[in-house]
Structure 1
Amino acid sequence: MKGLLSRNLRRAVTATVVVSAATLAFTGTASASTGAGTGSGSEVYGSANWTWTLSGMKNINMAVRDTKCDGNPVYVFFEADLGMGTIDPTPYRWNENGCGTTNHWNNLKYNSGTKLSRVRVVVCVDDAGWDTCYRSGWQYNPEA
Structure 2
Amino acid sequence: MRRAGFVVAAAATLTLGMTGTGRAVTNASADITASWGDRVRLAYTWTDRHTIRNGTLTVTDTTCDDRAVYATLTITTGDGRTVPLGDRHNTGGCGTSAEYHDITAADAGGITRLTLTICHGAGGTCEARYVGANPYRLDSLPS
Paired residue for 2:70? 75
Paired residue for 2:107? 112
Larger radius of gyration: 1
The number of residues matched between the two structures is: 115
Letter in 1 for 2:55: I
1:37 aligns with 2:37: no
The structure in which a higher percent of residues are helix is 1
Aligned 1:100-139 pairs, distance under 5 A: 100-106=95-101, 108-127=103-122, 130-139=123-132
Structure 2 runs not aligned, ≥5 long? 1-20, 139-143
Deviations 1:11-39 (A, max 9, x none): xxxxxxxxxxxxxxxxx953211222233
Aligned mates of 1:76, 1:107 — CA distance in 2: 13
Q: Give the TM-score normalised by structure 2.
A: 0.69
Shift of 1:84: 5.3
Aligned mates of 2:32, 2:41 — CA distance in 1: 6
CA contact (8 A) 1:38 1:136 kept: no
If asked which structure has higher relative contact order (CA below 8 Å, sep 6+), I would say 1
Tell me the percent identity: 23
Check 1:119–1:37 CA distance in 2 against 1; reply closer, same or farther (3 A cut).
same
Is 60-69 or 134-143 further displaced after alignment? Answer: 134-143
Q: Give the TM-score normalised by structure 1.
A: 0.68
Structure 1 runs not aligned, ≥5 long? 1-27
Aligned mates of 1:29, 1:85 — CA distance in 2: 29
Deviations 1:72-123 (A, max 9, x none): 1111121212255532221111100001111111253222343001112211
CA contact (8 A) 1:47 1:121 kept: no
Aligned mates of 1:116, 1:85 — CA distance in 2: 9
Aligned mates of 1:103, 1:74 — CA distance in 2: 10
Q: Secondary structure at the match of 2:24?
A: coil
The root-mean-square deviation of aligned C-alpha atoms, in Å, is 2.2
Q: Secondary structure at the match of 2:82?
A: strand
